[in-house]
Amino acid sequence: MKLTILGGGGFRVPLVYGALLADHGEGRVTEVVLHDPDDRRLRAVSRVLAEQAEGVPDAPVVAATTDLDEALRGAGFVFSAIRVGGLEGRAADERIALAAGVLGQETVGAGGIAYGLRTVPVAVDIARRVARLAPDAWVINFTNPAGLVTEAMARHLGDRVIGICDSPVGLGRRIARVLGADPKHAFVDYVGLNHLGWVRALRVAGRDELPRLLGDPALLGSFEEGRLFGADWLRSLGAIPNEYLHYYYFNRETVRAYQRAERTRGAFLRDQQARFYAEAADPGVSALRAWDRTRAEREATYMAENRESAGAGEREEEDLSGGYEKVALALMRAIARDERATLILNVRNRSTLRVLDADAVVEVPCLVDAGGAHPLAADPLPGHATGLVCAVKDVERQVLSAAESGSRATAVKAFALHPLVDSVNVARRLVDEYAAAHPGLGYLK
- List Cβ neighbours of 441 (8 Å cut-off, separation of 6 or more): 114, 117, 118, 434, 435
* Binding segment (CB under 6 A) for ligand G6P, from list 163-171, 225-233, 285-293, 392-400: 163-171
Instruction: Candidates 143, 167, 273, 352: give the one binding ligand G6P (CB under 6 A).
Output: 167
DSSP states of 373-403: EEEPP-PPPPHHHHHHHHHHHHHHHHHHHHH
Nearest to 324 by CA among 332, 336, 316: 332
- Least distance from ligand G6P to the Cβ atom of residue 108, Å: 10
Binding of ligand G6P by 82 (CB under 6 A): no
* Binding segment (CB under 6 A) for ligand G6P, from list 23-31, 32-40, 164-172, 403-411: 164-172
Nearer residue to ligand G6P within complex by CB, 258 or 415: 258
Task: Choose the one of ligand G6P, Mn ion, none that binds residue 348, judging by a C-beta under 5 to 8 angstroms depending on kind.
Answer: none
- The H or E element that residue 254 is part of is helix 251-260
Nearest to 150 by CA among 197, 90, 80: 80
Other CB atoms within a 10 A radius of the CB of residue 406 amount to 14
Task: Choose the one of ligand G6P, Mn ion, none that binds residue 102, judging by a C-beta under 5 to 8 angstroms depending on kind.
Answer: none
Nearest to 319 by CA among 106, 168, 173: 173
Nearer residue to Mn ion within complex by CB, 97 or 146: 146
Instruction: Candidates 165, 345, 366, 388: give the one binding Mn ion (CB under 5 A).
Output: 165
Quick one: DSSP state of residue 138? Answer: E
- Least distance from ligand G6P to the Cβ atom of residue 265, Å: 5
- Least distance from ligand G6P to the Cβ atom of residue 87, Å: 9
- Tell me whether strands 61-65 and 196-204 are parallel, antiparallel or unpaired: unpaired
Nearer residue to ligand G6P within complex by CB, 141 or 167: 167
Binding of Mn ion by 411 (CB under 5 A): no
Residue nearest to Mn ion (CB): 165
Between helices 39-53 and 13-21, what is the axis angle to 10°?
Answer: 30
**245: Cα within 13 Å, side-chain hemisphere:** 28
Nearer residue to Mn ion within complex by CB, 196 or 427: 196
- Least distance from ligand G6P to the Cβ atom of residue 302, Å: 5
SS3 for 77-99 is: EEEECCCCCHHHHHHHHHHHHHH
Q: Rule CB under 6 A: which of 258-287 touch ligand G6P?
A: 265, 269
- List Cβ neighbours of 180 (8 Å cut-off, separation of 6 or more): none
Report the alpha-carbon distance of residue 422 to residue 163 in Å, rounded: 29
- Least distance from Mn ion to the Cβ atom of residue 35, Å: 21
* Binding segment (CB under 6 A) for ligand G6P, from list 20-28, 112-120, 162-170, 277-285: 162-170
Q: Which residues bind ligand G6P (CB under 6 A)?
A: 144, 165-167, 265, 269, 298, 302, 324
Q: Which residues bind Mn ion (CB under 5 A)?
A: 165, 167
